[in-house]
Amino acid sequence: MSLQFTDEEFQSAWRELDEPQLEGGWELFTETMGVKIYRLHDKETGLYEYKIFGVLNTCNAELCAEVYMDLTYRKHWDTYVKELYEKDFSGNKAIYWEVKYPFPMSNRDYVYMRERRDLDVDGRRIWVILARSAPETPCAEKSGVLRVKDYKQSVALESDGGCGTKVFMNYFDNPGGMIPTWLVNWAAKTGVPGFLTDMQKACSSYSNYCQKK
């Protein structure tokens, strides 16, 4: 199955690095550790879509893209991963991801497709990774785990001109069930910057990990 991402989707992701698109109701939600997080209320679900702008100071953009794409390595550094792998589901290649949720809530899992493109934009090197849920994938649901059927994420990475990486992320997911507002807010305000910090550490340890494989 060919992936269903368009050229325009890749273009609109990297353009956010130059000109953040925040018209139409986006509000600054929080700013911490050099990361700005904006959110947009989705009237249909009552949930929020998020855009994140920041810089990873100590790792270059190509390395960030490699670390972000390496699912096996992510299981070593992302403590929220319960299961994560890519496989062929009846001819459709997709990624299965189970995320740990705090007790007493059920874990969530995702089945999604993704695509990475390494772009040359007038001599600028930009890495863009797009992902979205693939509910048509024949992957059986697990007892006690809630399947997230509405998920999308885009990531754009570019050198900051020094040793670091400019990062843009856009994501939305509908985790289903009854999730307290405090947990949703914690995940956005603390979880996202925490993920970027963890990813920065993961980048610094990646060469050692690759040598030990």
User: How many structural domains are present in the chain?
Assistant: 1
Query: In a structure prediction context, what are the per-residue pLDDT tens digits for the chain, which is 213 residues long?
Result: 445 799 999 999 999 999 999 999 999 999 987 889 999 998 888 889 999 999 999 999 999 999 999 999 999 999 999 999 999 988 778 999 999 988 888 999 999 999 999 999 999 999 999 999 998 888 999 999 999 999 999 999 999 999 899 999 999 988 887 777 777 777 777 778 888 889 999 999 999 999 987
Residue 90 lies in a domain: yes
Structural domain that includes position 167: 7-211
Q: Following DSSP, what letter does each residue of 80-125 receive, concatenated?
A: TEEEEEEEEETTEEEEEEEE---TTSPEEEEEEEEEEEEEEETTEE
Q: How far apart, in whole angstroms, are the C-alpha atoms of residue 131 and residue 129?
A: 7
The CATH number that applies at residue 29 is 3.30.530.20
| pLDDT tens profile 42-77 | 888 888 999 999 999 999 999 999 999 999 999 999
Residue 1: the pLDDT is 40
Residue 2: the pLDDT is 46
Q: How far apart, in whole angstroms, are the C-alpha atoms of residue 149 and residue 111?
A: 8
| pLDDT tens profile 99-109 | 998 888 899 99
Residue 105: the pLDDT is 85
Q: Which own/partner pairs from 134-142 qualify as long-range (CB within 8 Å, at least 24 positions apart)?
A: 134/92, 134/94, 135/111, 136/92, 137/89, 137/92, 137/94, 137/111, 137/113, 138/89, 138/90, 138/92, 139/89, 139/94, 139/96, 139/111, 141/109, 142/98, 142/109
For residue 24, what are its two tokens? 């139409």
Residue 92: the pLDDT is 79
Q: Quick one: which H or E segment has residue 208?
A: helix 192-212
Q: How far apart, in whole angstroms, are the C-alpha atoms of residue 48 and residue 7?
A: 25
Q: How far apart, in whole angstroms, are the C-alpha atoms of residue 199 and residue 64?
A: 8
Residue 179: the pLDDT is 77
Residue 1 lies in a domain: no
Residue 2 lies in a domain: no
Parallel, antiparallel or unpaired: strands 107-121 and 81-89:
unpaired
Q: How far apart, in whole angstroms, are the C-alpha atoms of residue 14 and residue 179?
A: 32
